[in-house]
Amino acid sequence: MSAKQFWVVDFDNGGSATKSAYYPNNEGIKCWEPWVYLKGERTAYDYPATHDRTMKIMQFAMEKHEDLWGVLITGIDLWDSVATNCMRIQDLGLSKDGIEAADNRGAGSNERVQQQWDWAIRVTRFHQLTAVCRALVKRGVRVFWETHMKDVYGKGGKIVESDGAPAWEKSSAGYMFQIVHCRRKDEVEDGKVVGETFTAAFEKSKTDATLQGQRRTILTTRQGEEPNFMGLPELERL
């Protein structure tokens, strides 16, 4: 029997970059491109087609579930933007493309979302992905979501901190068995960053209560020294 595969649906290109850097010869890791691009100068992405392509990839994963060890979806916050733009462009007909959809002022021919319940369309589109992921888990496939944290902006539009909340559709946390928050802390001397410490905190651990609320150091770096990577072996227990 051949080794099982690990698939990456790579919205933010983090999966393909990591594979290229650290696992270039590992044929068991397959990175899928979910984005569909438009021809022309106005906008790059075809959001409805991207939504459809992503769902086709996940449906294919369902067909191949016996061959899969796990599936990672990078940039869930970008998937959220796909669902929002599809709602505006395709479902409600408020915008003609991604540029108009990004303008929530309703400028020009673009319009605002008029009814609060219309946002349920966006939620439904988002959780179409959730439904397939849950089905994969039931079939024994490990599914990982990676998302960024919401940023807090200060004066001048600069990011001053993360508010600690994952950037995804707000009901997503209820579907997760585990939630791990990864953070970086800089070590500063004389106003200069001389080292960094990366940690992982188990904010939710439904299948292993001993990890609930625990924090682990996963990587440390310091100027002029080799990095010390500890990883997160606890993930094997989840």
97-138, pLDDT tens digit by residue?
544 545 454 544 555 545 554 656 778 889 999 999 999 999
Asked whether residue 192 is assigned to any structural domain, the reply reads: yes
pLDDT band, residue 236 (cuts 50/70/90)? confident
pLDDT at res. 126:
93
pLDDT at res. 113:
47
pLDDT at res. 130:
96
Asked whether residue 172 is assigned to any structural domain, the reply reads: no
Residues 117 and 193 occupy one common structural domain? no
Residues 126 and 232 occupy one common structural domain? no
DSSP reduced 3-state for 102: helix
Nearest to 144 by CA among 76, 199, 66, 71: 71
Q: How many angstroms separate the most distant Cα atoms in the chain?
A: 59
Residues 228 and 145 occupy one common structural domain? no
Beta 159-166 vs 149-153: how paired, if at all? antiparallel
C-alpha span between 211 and 230 (Å, rounded): 17
What residues make up the domain containing 227? 177-238
Residues 16 and 102 occupy one common structural domain? yes
pLDDT band, residue 158 (cuts 50/70/90)? confident
CA 68 to chain centre: 20
Residues 14 and 117 occupy one common structural domain? yes
Number of domains the chain is built from: 2
Residues 143 and 63 occupy one common structural domain? yes
Residues 71 and 156 occupy one common structural domain? yes
pLDDT tens for residues 22-79?
999 999 999 999 999 887 666 678 888 999 999 999 999 999 999 999 999 999 999 9
Asked whether residue 169 is assigned to any structural domain, the reply reads: no
Nearest to 69 by CA among 145, 147, 2: 2
Question: How many CB atoms sit inside 10 A of residue 164's CB?
Answer: 12
Residues 224 and 149 occupy one common structural domain? no
C-alpha span between 136 and 158 (Å, rounded): 40
Residues 214 and 148 occupy one common structural domain? no
Query: Given 130, 162, 194, which residue is the final one in a domain?
Result: 162
Among 21-35, 86-100, 144-158, 204-218, the minimum mean pLDDT is found in 86-100
Asked whether residue 171 is assigned to any structural domain, the reply reads: no
Q: How many percent of the chain have pLDDT more than 90?
A: 63
| 156 pLDDT above the threshold of 80 | no
Average model confidence (pLDDT) across the chain: 85
pLDDT at res. 1:
43
pLDDT at res. 98:
45
Residues 89 and 145 occupy one common structural domain? yes
